[in-house]
Chain A
């Protein structure tokens, strides 16, 4: 349910390691040893459904059913307190002419473009820095992971205070004899500040993913390159980068999906209205604004939700395809 780059789902997958990735396992069928050898049933007929029941009920009732109603509602004029009538593609037509929608789409896409390159590169460099086992390194690894653990609300409020007109960062800036920087009142800078927070919070998380990947790089490759006279920079591009390329794709995928759906950072820093003139509203913020409250336009918000879903799914498929090409 969290909407930071660090969704609990994604985190669990990363921690369990690449081999435990359920998506992969599911595609490849049961793992060896997972399928019972014997042909006979080793349980009473109804038992599996007793075991599966609660899970299917929750997942069906609170993920799949709402998904279906989202799609259905997007073709109606349903409101919070009013039953909906079928209106065809009217909501989608309205979207095309809705400036707010385009602002939201632009901001969500901008967020992705701004955040993803940093989250692909910086955590890799960080991982290389903490990969070497030197005394005290466990402490540094844990410390760099702390922002991941802290709630996005806490992190957001900490940075609101740091970037305030009279906050720590600005008192340093003015201390250097420069003018105050309006991090939180200029609509462009506000979005950039929120991106900064997302990157800061995500660094440790992606660092851990890279750390696992780096541990799998055969040392012989580095040694061979070193013998051939390759310097550190050269070795980085000829050995490290190719070896962790698939991890870079994974990090790019996770971070772009998360960045596109950004809500909390911008909501906290810009306020519910989305900054000056609503210029910083993101797509998910728009979903919340339109769809909730007593006069919430559920149908219209559902249409925006469908757009969010389609773009997210598109991103995931794009990455899957890139990944498959690499494997072959």
Chain B
């Protein structure tokens, strides 16, 4: 009765107060107008620095062959906009195949990371067994080894497995990240045990408890793992550069590097290539941005 009876208006006011407190930096007082204006001016100036380079690249990619891209007075808006550069880039290098390769690698990476780290994280957080500490330490140690310092040995391992110059070779080393396992372990460990007790009493086995009870409760962390697995794979440069040698197996990042090397004198093409590579990620980011900033909210709640 008492909780339900809390007037809606009161609850709303409380929520509003909580929201106002979030991110309050220098006291909750309202900003004087001049400060507000100054803030927006600063924000806009920084916006120009952070977004401007992308827009300039987009603009270059849309400029026609008769337009001077080196003009003394830079033109942001193309006077003769054209999509020819995108068609041309696809003629010169198989940019769509590169994108498909990147997509294959990234999607596989997301699936293997979500499944593999959720399973391992669940076992570490929720099961009692001999050797749990050893398993945990194994993941922590793996996390401490920087990829850059084992890259040659990874390359030799792939050679021995005859997986060099294959997309499987690109995917394998990062397909279950130790960091992700530990992230999932923490997510599972923070669930109250009572949730699973009921399922256990009902006779659910470990797999059923994992799949039906625990996993649905850690969707947020799983989403974080998925997003960063995708971005990590899509953006990776050093490892594919070392593993891949045939052009038809290139991922986008390697393809762009090749494009830049081979057609450096045609900026319009390089620009079109980079826009093809970055556009999907920016769209993905725009759709999922609240997950990117989840940590900020969490920090505020913990306060």
Contact = CB atoms under 8 A, between A and B. Distances in A.
Given A52-B120, A154-B277, A261-B146, A287 B23 contact: no
B125 A34 contact: yes
B97 interface: no
B14 interface: no
Interface stretch (A6-14, A88-96, A99-107, A186-194): A6-14
A59 B270 contact: no
Given A291-B152, A305-B152, A16 B237 contact: no
Given A22-B183, A52-B120, A306-B149, A132 B39 contact: yes
Given A55-B176, A133-B23, A22 B28 contact: no
A229 interface: no
Interface in B31-67: 31, 36, 39-40, 42-43, 46-47, 49-51, 53-54, 56-57, 60
Interface string A219-245: 100110010000010010000000000
A164 to B, nearest CB: 8
Given A144-B50, A153-B274, 20 more contacts: A9-B177, A17-B295, A26-B140, A43-B127, A51-B122, A62-B172, A65-B157, A133-B19, A140-B46, A143-B51, A145-B285, A150-B281, A151-B234, A171-B71, A203-B50, A204-B50, A215-B300, A287-B148, A301-B152, A305-B151
Contact of A64 (B129, B145, B172, B190): B145
Contact of B295 (A48, A158, A208): A208
A153 B277 contact: yes
13 contacts: A11-B228, A13-B183, A19-B298, A36-B126, A63-B145, A129-B39, A151-B252, A153-B277, A161-B56, A161-B271, A208-B292, A226-B26, A268-B257
B117 A55 contact: yes
A172 B74 contact: yes
B242 A142 contact: no
Nearest to B271: A161
B237 A215 contact: no
Contact of A22 (B36, B185, B191): B185
B273 to A, nearest CB: 8
Nearest to B300: A215
B149 A16 contact: no
Contacts of A18: 299
A324 interface: no
Contact of B146 (A128, A129, A288, A309): A309
Contacts of A61: 157
Contacts of B238: 1, 3, 263-264, 284, 288
Interface size class of B (residues with CB under 8 A): 35 or more
A76 B241 CA distance: 25
Interface stretch (A67-75, A110-118, A248-256): A67-75
B184 to A, nearest CB: 9
Interface string B181-217: 1110111111111000100100001110110000000
A12 B224 contact: yes
Given A13-B179, A54-B176, A287-B151, A42 B206 contact: yes
Given A131-B23, A162-B56, A63 B282 contact: no
A161 B60 contact: yes
Contacts of A212: 295-296, 298-300
B165 interface: no
A91 B142 CA distance: 25
B129 A1 contact: no
A314 to B, nearest CB: 12
A31 B74 contact: no
B14 to A, nearest CB: 17
Given A153-B277, A215-B299, A33 B124 contact: no
Contacts of B221: 16, 20
Contact of B257 (A9, A73, A134, A153): A153
A157 B25 contact: no
Given A129-B39, A216-B300, A298-B152, A43 B138 contact: no
Q: Chain B interface secondary structure, helix, strand, loop or mixed?
A: helix
A30 B39 contact: no
Contacts of A145: 285, 289, 292
Contact of B253 (A16, A153, A166): A153
A296 B225 CA distance: 35
A216 B267 CA distance: 46
Given A55-B176, A161-B60, A204-B50, A43 B298 contact: no
Nearest to B260: A157
B1 interface: no
Identify which of B20, B23, B117, B141 gathers the most chain A CB atoms within 10 Å of its CB: B23
A9 B74 CA distance: 39
B69 to A, nearest CB: 9
Contacts of A200: 49-50
Nearest to A312: B146
Contact of B225 (A7, A12, A142): A12
Nearest to A219: B24
Given A62-B172, A161-B271, A154 B256 contact: yes
Identify which of B112, B235, B286 gathers the most chain A CB atoms within 10 Å of its CB: B235
B108 interface: no
